[in-house]
Structure 1
Amino acid sequence: MKNDHQTKEAGRIVDVTREINAPVEAVWKALTDAKELERWFPLHASVQPGEAVELSWGDKVDWRMEIEEERDLSYLRLGYGQEHHSIVSPEPRRLAVEFFLEAKQGKTMLRIVHAGFGGGRNWDDMYDGVRRGWDTESLSLKHYLEHHAGKDRLVALARRKSKKSHEEIWNILVNGRLSAGEENYVYTTPLGEEYAGSLVYLNPPQDLCGTIPALNNAMFRLMLDRYAPDADIVVWAWIGAYDVPAEQIREIEKKWQAQLDALI
């Protein structure tokens, strides 16, 4: 009989499947080409074919993964070691994320499997962040390929660290401001503006994600992340937009940053 720790260890797998209305060639390129990666995933990407993928979101949030195996248009495995999780454990573990692609009548079934996490409580926040991350990032990929394929993305990104709890921050930024149904949402932001569109992902008190049709069908994300036990929470307010003037995106970023600084 397995003890609780062993059971928890065995269950530390992120497994997400998305149907994407795009050909498998487009999905494969979005996973393996640096410019395409920047159009839905990190702020900056670098790909050394057959060797490694490097991703960065700024502020020392970087991710380097070695390309362990790839089968054109069908399978990609990226692995990484202890330098990524030393903040939660000195144990030399090897983690990996796998992408399985299947073409279906012009569409693509994409399955993402991320495994190797430790079972101790010190891994909880990292595992939770990766799980929620792939939930939303896979939807970001779907949104990009189905609505803005081939377009460069401009990002307004404001972030702020806080010693407050998830619930306290959520109450400040979201409670009383959000009306959400199964498919749509209306959010009155701390900027005094209204975002209304399709609800992509809602996971209180950590995640709100939806489209902004008024901003050329941009994607808005509000995320509350903690990367290690007892660490400060990082609040991310993020808008990924396409075919929108850069000056407008920079102004949105400044406004969000000022509000997070004032409120959090």
Structure 2
Amino acid sequence: MSNDRIEKQIELKAPVSRVWRALTDHREFGEWFRVKIDGPFVSGQTSTGHMTYPGYEHVQWNSVIKEIQPERYFSFNWHPAAIDPAIDYSTETPTLVEFTLEETKIGTLLRVVESGFENIPSDRRLEAFRMDEGGWESQLENIENYVTNTP
């Protein structure tokens, strides 16, 4: 297993349009991802806010929206496991998070790939990878519950 790339996928019993809205509407994204985002996702712009997950409310959300291809591809850069308010993570090279959607017979295949862990400083690289490896497992369950239970 590579420690540079996390790849996860889930088949959701929801149409691509529904999954797309849950991914790219900043309010809906915030509901399942547990983050309060200050405004809409716009390609090339920074997205800010703060986490709402219990115990992590002090963590700021900062990402740069890279690309939005409607109902197919959404990506952003961020600093994984950037949870210590005393550390300035902005000097680090961020990872790239990519979501792709594909229509299936039962709904939507959602893939998430996070890459670039090799650029994280060595003293926190493995912990960031470990946190996000488990984090994406949980987040795919969260989006599945969200699109299934929220029309």
Structure 1 residue 19 corresponds to structure 2 residue 19: no
The alignment covers a number of residue pairs equal to 140
* Equivalent residue number for residue 123 of structure 1: 125
TM-score of the aligned structures, taking structure 2 as reference length: 0.78
The structure number with the bigger radius of gyration is 1
2:133 match: secondary structure: helix
2:58 match: secondary structure: coil
- Equivalent-residue separation in structure 2 for 1:17 and 1:75 (angstroms): 14
Task: Tell me the alpha carbon deviations over residues 59-104 of structure 1, each in whole angstroms, 9 at most, x when there is no partner.
Answer: 321221111112110011101369x489498863231100011011
Structure 1 residue 142 corresponds to structure 2 residue 140: no
The CA deviation at 1:43 is 3.8
- Equivalent-residue separation in structure 1 for 2:7 and 2:88 (angstroms): 22
Structure-to-structure mapping, 1:103-122, within 5 angstroms: 103-105=103-105, 107-118=107-118, 120-122=122-124
Change (3 A) 1:35 1:128: same
Q: Which runs of 5+ in 2 are unaligned?
A: none
Q: Which has the higher contact order (CA 8 A, sep 6+)?
A: 2
* Equivalent residue number for residue 24 of structure 2: 32
TM-score of the aligned structures, taking structure 1 as reference length: 0.47
Structure 2 letter corresponding to 1:13: R
The CA deviation at 1:24 is 0.5
Q: Choose which of 47, 57, 60 in structure 1 pairs with 2:58.
A: 60
- Equivalent-residue separation in structure 2 for 1:81 and 1:73 (angstroms): 25
RMSD: 2.8
Q: What fraction of aligned residue pairs are identical, expressed as a percent?
A: 24
